């Protein structure tokens, strides 16, 4: 299969199941959104797809390359944004992106393009430690898209963003989708999920309790997600 395939992945810690068996597929230009509250299993699922966690059972593959049998090739397909900022705070914004760009063999022109896209070009000489929460989130997002990955994985990317940058984020994601990139991201923001997701997996206590094939009826889908969240 061309695209991302997640087959029956689960994760058990001793006597606690963090993620029950989960399966889905996504083809080029598809956005999959993981919705649900804290402890729903969203981060666990993303980290398994990103190769950070090994599943207790199940497999993931990208364009037919299985994580278990072709780790290096598999990981080259991925851009990943974690939910927490653990970075070199004494680097400048430009140094931070240049460092991650070097890992992806990205040149200076792309660094400047990304800094402009995330609204940090005028902050390129400022230290990471001086940035606000929202700016750090944008910087983390920037490093994840530097190499124009085929699969983009984002863990709670809208945390700390003001309304303007939430809207910008949605616009950027929609443009990235047009290039054929597969996007999988988690969020608490039901309206963002409804606006961006082609497939929405609503999760609770480690289980996918409903899969929504989104027809982009934003208000209707938002209300459906809110009801699921309250139930």
pLDDT tens across 40-51, in order? Answer: 999 999 999 999
At residue 68, does pLDDT exceed 80?
Answer: yes
Decide which of 148, 170, 187 is a domain's last residue: 148
- Boundary residue ending a domain (106, 123, 148): 148
d(C-alpha 218, C-alpha 195), whole Å? 6
97 with 128, same domain: the answer is yes
141 or 84, greater pLDDT: 141
Which pTM value belongs to this model?
0.95
Check whether residue 140 and residue 156 sit in a common domain. Answer: no
Question: Based on the domain organization, do 164 and 104 belong to the same domain?
Answer: no
Helices (H), the chain: 42-49, 71-76, 93-103, 108-117, 133-145, 163-178, 190-196, 218-230
Residue 119's pLDDT band (cuts 50, 70, 90): very high
Can you give the residue range of the structural domain that contains 36? Answer: 4-77+149-230
């Amino acid at each position: 299969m061309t695209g991302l395939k997640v087959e029956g992945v689960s994760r058990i810690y001793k006597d606690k199941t963090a993620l029950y068996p989960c399966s889905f597929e996504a083809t080029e230009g598809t956005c999959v959104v993981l919705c649900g509250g804290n402890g729903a299993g969203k981060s666990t699922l993303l980290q398994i797809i990103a190769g950070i966690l090994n599943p207790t059972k199940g497999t993931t593959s990208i364009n037919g390359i299985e994580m278990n049998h072709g780790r290096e090739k598999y990981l080259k397909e991925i851009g990943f944004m974690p939910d927490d900022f653990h970075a070199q705070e004494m680097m400048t914004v430009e140094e931070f992106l240049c460092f991650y760009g070097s890992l992806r063999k990205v040149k200076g022109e792309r660094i400047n393009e990304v800094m402009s896209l995330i609204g940090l070009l005028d902050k390129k000489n400022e230290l990471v430690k001086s940035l606000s929460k929202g700016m750090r989130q944008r910087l983390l997002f920037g490093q994840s898209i530097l190499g124009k990955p085929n699969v983009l994985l984002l863990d709670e990317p809208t945390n700390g963003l003001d309304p303007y940058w939430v809207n910008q984020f949605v616009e950027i994601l929609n443009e990235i989708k047009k290039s054929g990139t597969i996007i999988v991201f988690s969020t608490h923001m039901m309206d963002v999920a409804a606006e961006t997701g082609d497939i929405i997996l609503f999760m609770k206590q480690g289980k996918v309790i409903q899969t929504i094939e989104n027809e982009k009826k934003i208000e209707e889908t938002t209300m459906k997600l809110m009801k699921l969240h309250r139930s």
